Amino acid sequence: MSKSMTIERVTEFAAAWNSRNPDLIASFFTEDGVYHASVGPDHLGRTFVGRAEIRKSAKALFDSPTGRSRI
């Protein structure tokens, strides 16, 4: 996979979030990938490390009352 970010890749990533599919979102990350959510206790919001943790956090978001928004 290319390490370059393109407008197409950003559009695909936003569509993955709008699909509310944690598996699809997690597929954008490597096994040891890092995702910094915009809100949380860490310096960059909340940090999730690893594809499994990223998937779990996306699922938790979508299962919560605040997880109904779309990008």
Where are the chain's structural domains? Answer: 26-66
Least Cα distance to 17 among 2, 28, 8, 7 occurs for: 28
pLDDT at 30 over 90: yes
Instruction: Please give the share of the chain, as a percent, with pLDDT higher than 70.
Output: 89
* Structure confidence at residue 29 (pLDDT): 95
- DSSP E strand boundaries for the chain: 34-42, 45-49
Q: CB neighbours of 53 closer than 8 A, spacing ≥ 6?
A: none
Least confident of 11-15, 23-27, 42-46: 42-46
* pTM (2 d.p.): 0.81
pLDDT level of residue 31 (50, 70, 90 thresholds): very high
Compute the 3-state secondary structure of the chain and give helix, strand, coil in percent, each to the nearest 5.
50, 20, 30
CA 9 from centre of chain: 13
